[in-house]
Amino acid sequence: MEEYLRVGVISNTHGVRGEVKIFSTTDDIRRFKKLKQCVIDTGREKIPVEVESCKFFKQTPILKFKTIDQLNDVERFKGKDLLVHRDHAVKLQKNEFFIVDLVGLKVESDDGMDLGVLTDVLQTGANDVFVAKMPDGNEVLIPYIEQCVPEIHPETGKVVVHLLPGLLDLNRK
């Protein structure tokens, strides 16, 4: 399991007092209002920062970090990931998972067929779609709805899916 989870990317500076605009990679941007501690991942190092304030402009979170008070101090963080420690992540409801915890799980059908490994989760708006890379190299797209994904077990590394008739045929090259 990943120790840190990405909640956004610093997309740009805002004003001259060291504020930054955040491109959110989380489902609920209101979570930034409660954010107190986070980490800026520069690629070379992880810099812990405390959040002084959060406001929104056109659904874009704008954060002000304590100890960073000037435009020049935050410019170097443009394009860098904003992470939270797993301990500070939002609490998940029953049957909710972080995508990072699903990618890499073994996927098999409810009748025992090996469907490979979960490689991605597409967020389509209506429902998420699991992308599994099969042993033959093909990909199968599985809608993340209760009828198709009855069981997810990150602790054992497995996702059990129910294949609707014709689903594998739709995904063949």
Render pLDDT for 101-147 as a digit per residue (tens, 0 to 9): 999 999 999 999 999 999 999 988 788 999 999 998 889 999 999 88
Q: What is the DSSP string of 140-173?
A: EEEE-STTT--EEETTTTEEEE-PPTTHHHHT--
Kindly report the pTM of this predicted structure: 0.76
Strands 19-24 and 81-85 come out as unpaired
Dihedral sign for Cα 62, 66, 71, 77, please: negative
Domain segments of the chain: what residues? 4-88, 99-170
Q: Cβ(9)–Cβ(82) under 8 Å?
A: yes
Q: Which CATH class is domain 4-88?
A: mainly beta
pLDDT at 144 (0 to 100)? 92
In 10 A of CB 92, how many CB atoms?
A: 10
* Residue 47 falls in which region: left (phi positive, over 0), alpha (psi -120 to 50) or beta: beta
In which residue ranges of the chain is pLDDT below 50?
none
CATH number for 99-170 (one of 3.40.190.10, 3.20.10.10, 2.30.30.240, 3.10.180.10): it is: 2.30.30.240
pLDDT at 87 (0 to 100)? 87
pLDDT at 171 (0 to 100)? 64
| Residue type, position 147, single letter | Q
118 CB-contact burial (10 Å; exposed 0-12 / middle 13-18 / buried 19+): buried
Q: Cβ(70)–Cβ(17) under 8 Å?
A: yes
pLDDT at 95 (0 to 100)? 78
